[in-house]
Amino acid sequence: MAVTIRDVARESGVHVSTVSRTFSAPHLVNAETRTRVLAVAEGLGYRPNRAARALTTGRTHNLGLIVADIANPFFPPLIKAAQAQARERDYHVFVADTDEDPLLEQELIETLCKQVDGVLLCSPRLSNRVIERLRAQVPFVVVNRRLKGLTTVLMDVGQGARAAVEHVAGLGHRRMALLSGPAGSWTSGEMRQAATDTAAEHHMELSVLGPNEPTEHGGLAAAGAVAASGVTAVLCYNDLVALGLIEGLRQRGLGVPDDVSVIGVDDSLPGRLSRPKLTTITMPTAAAGRMAVDLLLATISGSAGTAGPAPHTTARLETGLVIRESTQRVSSP
């Protein structure tokens, strides 16, 4: 096996507890001793075993991060930011992909929860009921899902959707469609609500088409319905759906933005790099990842002190509309 605390203790002529303290409570040990122990540890290549430490402290210094689909470009920036923030705080993070499957999501939470101090649930597809039950086992922070009594980080996509509809209304469009996302998605519900309200305010006709698979295939598959509906503008669940839709429209001889204006959500890499560049609702994914980690860590240290119910916060992050090339003034109103 590897070098343990005992090896360091023997080598430096002190008791194991002194070595332990050198690492977990340095101020409690004589500066001279500390230096010596540190030197020996360095020389031996000693690294504290975090699992063993977790056994006594009850803190694993690990976090779980559960997402619906790592390959969906919405998530990588969030994952990247979350693990960077966690590392900053001396935490490591397990990343797990649920493949958009609620059952797998639950299963993952349950197996992971014994190994982590808390879990970050991003855009969960799980029912509120199940989440409620699970939260007894491990502290949660949920991203993009509203849940009473739980700490949540919300990206205010409603605000972006409102701006999007107004943008399109200002361009003279009178009939638009909303390509909604997966049934369990909070984001999709928010978008629908905001879009419906705003469309009404502007006396626009809005058709909701969906649910759609949150990928380019979903958008491609919806192209027929969009074409048939005769709308001149479409707000899509995300950039991928928008990009797929644009492709499908093109296959039907419909150009974007000439014949139809299309708006996505996420401001993802593919949208930025595509032609026409996608008009899209920006989502503060990196900020959400960092904030979620900080809130989770706060919840964790908080729940250690008090026996009462965990404190809960709702952080609401702003979204915005980036107008690029996939929207333009309606040609035939």
Partner DNA sequence: GTGAAAGCGCTAACAT
Partner DNA sequence: ATGTTAGCGCTTTCAC
Q: Among candidates 65, 92, 59, which has minimal Cα distance to 78?
A: 65
Rg of the chain (C-alpha set): 25
Q: Candidates 28, 39, 52, 228: give the one binding a copy of itself (CB under 8 A).
A: 52
Structure tokens at 280: 């899209």
Among DNA, a copy of itself, none, what does residue 25 contact (CB within 5–8 Å per kind)? DNA
Residue type, 15: H
User: Which residue from 30, 127, 137, 313 is in contact with a copy of itself, where contact means CB under 8 A?
Assistant: 137
- Phi then psi dihedrals of residue 92, to 5 deg: -110, 155
How far lies 58's CA from each of 9, 65, 301, 302, in Å? 24, 19, 12, 14
What letter represents residue 180's amino acid?
A: S
Task: Give yes or no for residue 325 binding a copy of itself (CB under 8 A).
Answer: no
Contact 221, 237 (CB under 8 A): no
DSSP letter assigned to residue 142: E
- Rounded least distance, CB 131 to DNA, Å: 24
Fill in the amino acid letter for 1.
Answer: M
**Interacting residue with a copy of itself among 25, 27, 31, 114 (CB under 8 A):** 114
Question: At what angle are helices 239-251 and 216-229 packed, to 10 degrees?
Answer: 50
CB 326, CB 277: distance < 8 Å: yes
Rank residues 220 and 227 by Cβ distance to a copy of itself and give the closer one. Answer: 220
Selection from a copy of itself, DNA, none that 273 binds (CB < 5 to 8 A by kind) is a copy of itself
Our finding on whether 186 is near a copy of itself (CB under 8 A) is no
- Residue 270's binding partner among DNA, a copy of itself, none (Cβ under 5 to 8 angstroms by kind) is a copy of itself
- Torsion angle of alpha carbons 143, 147, 151, 154, nearest 10°? 40
CA distance 59 to 138: 12
Contact residues: DNA, CB under 7 A: 1-2, 4-6, 13-18, 20-21, 23-25, 28-30, 32-34, 46-49, 52-53, 55-57
Q: Does 115 bind a copy of itself (CB under 8 A)?
A: yes
Q: What share of the chain is helix, strand, coil (3-state, %, to 5)?
A: 45, 15, 35
**Contact string 138-177 vs a copy of itself (x = CB under 8 A):** ----------------------------------------
CB of 12 to DNA, least distance (A): 9
Residue 309 backbone dihedrals phi, psi, to 5 degrees: -65, 145
Site string for a copy of itself, 7-46 (x = CB under 8 A): --------------------------------------x-
d(CA 232, CA 117): 49
CB of 198 to a copy of itself, least distance (A): 28
Specify the residue, 16 or 298, whose C-beta has the smaller distance to DNA.
16
Provide the binding-site residues for a copy of itself, judged by CB under 8 A. Answer: 1-2, 45, 47-52, 54-55, 58, 60, 62, 69-71, 73, 75-77, 79-80, 83-84, 87, 92-97, 99, 108, 110-115, 137, 216, 240, 243-244, 247, 269-270, 272-276
